[in-house]
Amino acid sequence: MKTDTVRTGGETAQLPQAVETRNPGQPLDMDWVMSAQANRSAIERRAATIGTRRSVKKAHQAAWLLKAISMIDLTTLAGDDTPGRVRRLCAKAAHPVRAELLEALDMPGLTTGAVCVYHEMVATAVEALAGTGVPVAAVSTGFPAGLSPYRLRIAEIGESVAAGAREIDIVISRRHVLTGNWQALYDEVREMRAECGEAHLKTILATGELGSLRNVARASLVCMMAGADFIKTSTGKESVNATLPVSLVMMRAIRDYHERTGYRVGYKPAGGISTAKDSLTYLALLKEELGDAWLTPHLFRFGASSLLLDIERQLEHYVTGHYSAGYRHAMG
């Protein structure tokens, strides 16, 4: 396993980085799916301790925040998106922190994990990011509700891949989870994975609409069995998006899948994660539940649009001793 070395103010912190074999999926195992349970009270007690028990300071905090930047899917999913807005977002993804701050932190070349847009903006984003190494992720399959005709949802994946998207964020049919039709969910995700080809598949569970943490656990397993490269909490459009209890359930499903199959599946919390402190809390949970192997953009992403702004402000405070007003920073 390779490591990233981050030097901040003369101190050195090493963070792991790994290149993973893609999850090929496996036949649907209903015994395994139906055995998945979730004790809500125990899960909520465990999740409540994450943000209070540990904290990182100074150089170590700066190192973790730099790592968090490399894991952001910088996102714009608005009805009034324009090519100009997407190009500005791509410029921010390629240069997420001002050059003088990165120079002081000895981290030249830092980028975000990806840029996430609607299909109509994929070609614009691919052109804007050419030569940067930053991939384009496209939300697909009738995002955010996933209720467009099935053949069109499949076709949309193919169109986005053809336009240059290297990652596809699909939304599952929530009704399959709510009615317990796990075979239908498996077949749907399996076909979508096949349509992605070499592009990586992130399955959005829309956990706030699944009714229970047990359903979240079972849906997570089914999507992984169907070949998902990532499982993702939310579209960001639901009334309840990423939460620590849901993250704990999904991470433990990922751990269970890895222990049984040997394949690592990525995790992406999305929606409502907007502060540097939030990012550190999620990374602490990730490290404790899944271990250092997941501390890489190959296996963890934040779905966010405003998180980068606060992280940049915290890094400026670390370097200069002063907080910067938000209006001084480019769009994030």
Q: What is the pLDDT of residue 8?
A: 40
Say if 10 falls within a structural domain. no
pLDDT tens digits, residue range 115-153?
999 999 999 999 999 999 999 999 999 999 999 999 999
Residue 70 confidence (pLDDT): 97
Domain that holds residue 147: 24-328
**Mean pLDDT over each residue of the chain, to the nearest integer:** 92
Describe the crossing of helices 276-290 and 244-261 by its angle, rounded to 10 degrees.
30
**Is residue 30 situated within a structural domain?**
yes
pLDDT of residue 19: 41
List pLDDT tens digits, range 198-251.
999 999 999 999 999 999 999 999 999 999 999 999 999 998 999 999 999 999
Whole-model pTM over 0.85 = yes
Cα 193 to Cα 154: distance, rounded to the nearest angstrom: 10
**8 inside domain:** no
Amino acid symbol at 11: E
What does the alpha-carbon distance between residue 170 and residue 215 come to, in Å, rounded to a whole number? 18
State how far the Cα of 200 lies from the Cα of 203, in Å rounded to an integer.
10
- The verdict on residue 6 lying in a domain is no
Residues annotated as catalytic (active site), given as ranges: 169, 232, 268
Which whole-number Å values give the CA distances from 258 to 18, 192, 221, 246, 293, in the listed order? 15, 22, 11, 18, 12
CATH of the domain at 280: 3.20.20.70
Q: What is the pLDDT of residue 63?
A: 96
- 18 in a domain, yes or no? no
Q: Is residue 5 assigned to a domain? A: no
